[in-house]
Amino acid sequence: MKKKIGIACVGVVLVVLALLFSGEKGTPPVLSFDGTEITIGESSPSDMTRAGFEPTEYLIGELPARSWLSGFIGMKNKNGESCAYIYLYNPSKSSVTYQGATIYKVDIYMNSEERSYWAEDNALVNGINFRGMNSDEVKEAMKDYKLARETDAGNLRYEDGSYNYYFYFDEAVGLVNQIVVELEIPKGYN
C-alpha cells in the first residue's frame, strides 16, 4: 500500500514539474537576406559567411560556454551593403568560435535616409517584406501573432512564445524603419 502511494506521489510530482517547465517556446523566426535564410536561435554567423556575407568585424576567438555577446556584429551582403546586425550567444556547455555561436537576435533597418547605406528590400521576416509598411499594414501582416505592446509612439511588440518581434516606425513618414527579432535567452549567462 505504501509503495503504491509512493509511486502515485512521484507521478504527481513529475506531472507538476512537466507542467511548470513546458512553457510554449513558439516557432523560430526565419529571416531571409538576398535569398539566404537564417533561423533565430539555430543559425550561426558561419551560415551567412558561407553564403557570401561578410562581417564588418573579424570574428576571431571564442565565446565561452553559456555566455552571450552584448554587442552586435554587422553583416554586409554580397554587394557590400549592410543588411543586419546580429547578436550571438552560446547555449552549450563548452566554448565555441564566434563563427559557430548561435544568432539570438537580429536588427534590420530600412526606409531611413540616416541609414542609406543599408540594402533596400534586403530582408524578409517569416517570408514577409515589411519595407514600406505602416503600422496598420504591419498589424495585418502579424495578425497570427500576439500583440504584446503598442507604445504611444506607435511602436509594436509581438510575441510568439520565447520569440519577440519589435517594429519601430519613422515618425515623419510613419513607415517601418527598424525591426528587431529576438529569442529571449537567459541573461544569467556570463
- Residue-wise pLDDT for 30-50, tens only, equals 999 988 999 999 999 999 999
Confidence of residue 186 (pLDDT cuts 50, 70, 90): confident
DSSP 85: E
Considering the domain boundaries, does residue 9 fall inside one? no
Domain count for the chain, please give it: 1
Considering the domain boundaries, does residue 13 fall inside one? no
- Residue-wise pLDDT for 137-181, tens only, equals 999 999 999 999 999 888 999 999 999 999 999 888 899 999 999
Instruction: Give the integer Cα–Cα distance in Å for 120 and 49.
Output: 20
Considering the domain boundaries, does residue 119 fall inside one? yes
Name the residue range of residue 83's domain. 26-183
Considering the domain boundaries, does residue 89 fall inside one? yes
pLDDT at 21 > cutoff 90: no
Considering the domain boundaries, does residue 173 fall inside one? yes
CB contact at 8 A, 55 and 74: yes
**Single pTM value for the model:** 0.83
Considering the domain boundaries, does residue 14 fall inside one? no
Considering the domain boundaries, does residue 131 fall inside one? yes
User: Strand pairing of 62-63 and 96-97?
Assistant: antiparallel
The reported pLDDT for the residue numbered 117 is: 63
Considering the domain boundaries, does residue 11 fall inside one? no
